[in-house]
């Protein structure tokens, strides 16, 4: 009995509990995770740069589709939304590509999907920061219309279209 206790104690955790020696045998998935993490970090850096460089009172667009339907939020709220979208996309796609659901997917799909989606979200965030730098907010109701809280270009576009 003592021999069994000594032999079980001498073995490593993975040997005792049957865990595989290498839980992720595909290094390309690990590289995809690393690249996605760098893109997520770039989103955080972009948000930090925008917080410092955008003027007080700047409004950041969150674009759910076409530019005419952008929602203009305060600087911190808009940047938080963009960063949250990146974090959610990162977590959802990385967990999906490593789950049993994606086991039968082509490796190229599992490797390229998370970084590709995060590139699109990063580009959207960067475009929102660039747009916010170009637009100057107007006081609420300054133009007398229902969209007085939007930047001038957005107001002009809405006046032209309807």
Q: What tokens appear for 6 in the block? A: 């000594």
Closest CA to 117 of 85, 141, 84: 85
Q: What tokens appear for 85 in the block? A: 């979208």
More confident call, 85 vs 69: 85
The domain locations on the chain are: 26-137
Residue position matching structure tokens 């994606």: 102
pTM for the full model? 0.69
* Per-residue pLDDT at 52: 94
Q: Do 62 and 70 form a contact (C-beta atoms < 8 A)? A: yes
DSSP class of 62: E
Share the mean pLDDT of the chain.
79
Q: What is the pLDDT of residues 27-66, one digit of tens each?
A: 888 899 999 999 999 999 999 999 999 998 899 999 876 7
Residue position matching structure tokens 């950041």: 60
């Amino acid at each position: 009995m003592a021999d069994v206790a000594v032999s079980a104690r001498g073995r490593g955790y993975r040997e005792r509990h049957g865990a595989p020696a290498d839980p992720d045998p595909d290094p390309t998935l690990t590289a995809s995770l690393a690249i996605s993490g760098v893109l997520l970090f770039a989103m955080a850096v972009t948000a930090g740069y925008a917080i410092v460089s955008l003027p007080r009172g700047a409004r950041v667009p969150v674009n759910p589709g076409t530019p005419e339907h952008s929602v203009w939020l305060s600087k911190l709220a808009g940047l938080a939304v963009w960063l949250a979208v990146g974090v959610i996309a990162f977590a959802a796609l990385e967990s999906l590509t490593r789950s049993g659901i994606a086991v039968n997917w082509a490796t190229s799909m599992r490797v390229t999907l998370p970084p590709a989606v995060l590139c699109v979200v990063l580009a959207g965030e960067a475009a929102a920061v660039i747009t916010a730098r170009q637009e100057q907010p107007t006081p609420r109701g300054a133009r007398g219309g229902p969209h007085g809280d939007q930047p001038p270009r957005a107001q002009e576009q809405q006046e032209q279209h309807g």
